[in-house]
Amino acid sequence: MNPTKLSTLSWGEEISFPSSRKGDMYSHVVGARYPCRSVAYVPRLILSELAASNPKEMNVLDPFMGSGTTALEANLRAFNAYGLEVDPYARLIGSASVQKFSKVDLSKLEEFGSTLESKFRSTRSLKSMIPDILNIDHWFPEKNIDDLVRLKRVISDFLETTPKANNFLYAAFADIIRAVSYAERQSLKPYVSTRFRKQPAEVLPSFQKCLKKYLDGAQAVALLKDYGTGQIKWIDGDATQFKLDAKIDVAITSPPYINAMDYVRCIKLESSWVGTGSSDIFSEVRSSQVGEAARSKKREISADVLEIIGPDFLRIQEVDKERSKTVAAYFQDMKSNLNCVYKALKANAQYHIIVGDSVVRDVEVATHHHIGKIAEKIGFEWQGYFKYAIKDHRTSLPRNGRGGKIEVEHVISLRKP
């Protein structure tokens, strides 16, 4: 069924959402290929109902902000968006997705687009601007490396007079990186097929097409009278340790799965080209991301977490001790996150968590159930639960029955009494 109101859903009901592959409205087109981007329909469902019953300014928090899906949906309802995100590339995409431009700003961007080709043709490449990507010739043809540098120089020159467009233009620049490389677009992780050699797209036409798409989204936002600040209020810290001065009316998030996706590896090409990534940054981000194996060495697991995840933990431990530590650390991190969000929420406010259950060493881990039970230990009331099938996996590569895809996402609704 297609949902109309969150409050009418039965416990455990499975609902259906339309395809979200094309980024269906406004600036959801910005960074639309960000890995494991959350489905906009879930925060839209939650925030639309809140906006209908509470026509006032509200503070919305997403502690795993990613590419800004929740923040855009909040801004579309003139709510304030607060977020945490350890990856500087994701912060760039998120900031670009919510940005609102004035008519003057849009006019400058349109003029930039109209003069782009002539400026690109007259600009030379500089070897000093080539990013430090290992074996860069493996990923890009020499001509496209030169053309990407030329395009980046043109963008940089424009930003000297219009710095407000920085995130927006670099998000568009990043969006074409995979297309103009040898890397397959069907795979989330950068991968060059030796069997079916891909023909990279041309740089300038790819950027022109992407810029038009982004501008169409920005122009739609500019026409809206009731829109938020056009910003994300970024909070210091990470999802497991933060404090907020403002009190939050509702929190919505989609945390990472358990050891399921190496986000750093997925976006290393894009991040390197736009200057948000390097070997040191990638290492720091990877060690800070919830769900990564590296975090298991930093976490002591509390008795209450072990009590809840115990059966799954012990079954995994029998076949893979290291992986069982990763699983336990994940839920310990989620406990820390739940504690932080609980403190940030107003009384009677809700925390909605969108997460998929994982299969670890052939053990089906009921992630959503465990998070809900940990939340109850903290003091939350588990008020609602529904699920939906994931329609738009960002990969179509066959896995020969090995699994790896999470087919259903679960949404648990928690209330702070």
Does position 395 have pLDDT exceeding 70, yes or no?
no
Give domain status of residue 8, yes or no: no
Question: Whole-angstrom Cα distance, residue 269 to residue 133?
Answer: 7
62, 265 in Cβ contact below 8 A? Answer: no
Work out how many domains the chain is built from and give that number: 1
Per-residue pLDDT of 107-150, as tens digits, reads: 999 999 999 999 999 999 999 999 999 899 999 999 999 999 99
Residue 131 lies in a domain: yes
Of 20-34, 154-168, 252-266, the one with minimum mean pLDDT is: 20-34
- 60 three-class SS: strand
9, pLDDT greater than 60: yes
Residues 6+ apart with CB under 8 A from 307: none
Residue for token pair 């990534």: 277
Residue showing tokens 């990969």: 395
In a domain, 139, yes or no: yes
Which of 12-26, 48-62, 71-85, 229-243 is predicted with the least confidence, judged by mean pLDDT?
12-26
Burial 241-252 (b: 16+ CB within 10 A, else e): ebebeeebbbbb
The residue behind tokens 């994982």 is 358
Does residue 323 form part of some domain?
no
Q: Return d(Cα 120, Cα 156) in angstroms, integer.
A: 12
The residue among 301 and 22 whose pLDDT is bigger is 301
Higher pLDDT, 257 or 397: 257
Nearest alpha-carbon partner for 360 in 319, 394, 398 = 319
Whether 157 maps to a domain, the answer reads: yes
Q: What is the pLDDT of residue 414?
A: 98
Q: What is the pLDDT of residues 160-206, one digit of tens each?
A: 999 999 999 999 999 999 999 999 877 777 888 888 888 999 999 99
Report residue 397's pLDDT band, with 50, 70 and 90 as the boundaries. Answer: very low
Asked whether the beta carbons of 25 and 223 are under 8 A apart, the reply is no
Q: Is 180 within the bounds of a domain?
A: yes
Is 202 among the domain residues? yes
CB-based contacts of 231: which residues, under 8 Å, 6+ apart?
81, 95, 98, 99
Which of 33-42, 123-132, 286-295, 354-363 shows the lowest per-residue confidence on average (mean pLDDT)? 286-295
pLDDT of residue 406: 74
- Domain of residue 112 covers 103-219
One-letter identity of residue 135: N
- pLDDT (tens digit, 9 = 90+) per residue, 215-232? 999 999 999 988 999 999
Q: Each residue of 323-380: pLDDT tens digit?
A: 999 999 999 999 999 999 999 999 999 999 999 998 899 999 999 999 999 999 999 9
Q: Which two tokens stand for residue 393?
A: 């996996």
Tell me if 392 is assigned to some domain. Answer: no
* Whole-angstrom Cα Rg for the chain: 22
CB 337 within 8 A of CB 240: yes
User: At residue 265, does pLDDT exceed 60?
Assistant: yes
Has residue 400 got a pLDDT over 90?
no
- Please give the DSSP secondary-structure letter assigned to residue 256: P
List alpha helices for 54-165, DSSP H. 69-75, 88-98, 103-121, 136-139, 142-159
Residues pairing with 327 in the sheet: none
- From the number of C-beta atoms within 10 Å of its C-beta (0-12, 13-18, 19+), residue 45 rates as buried
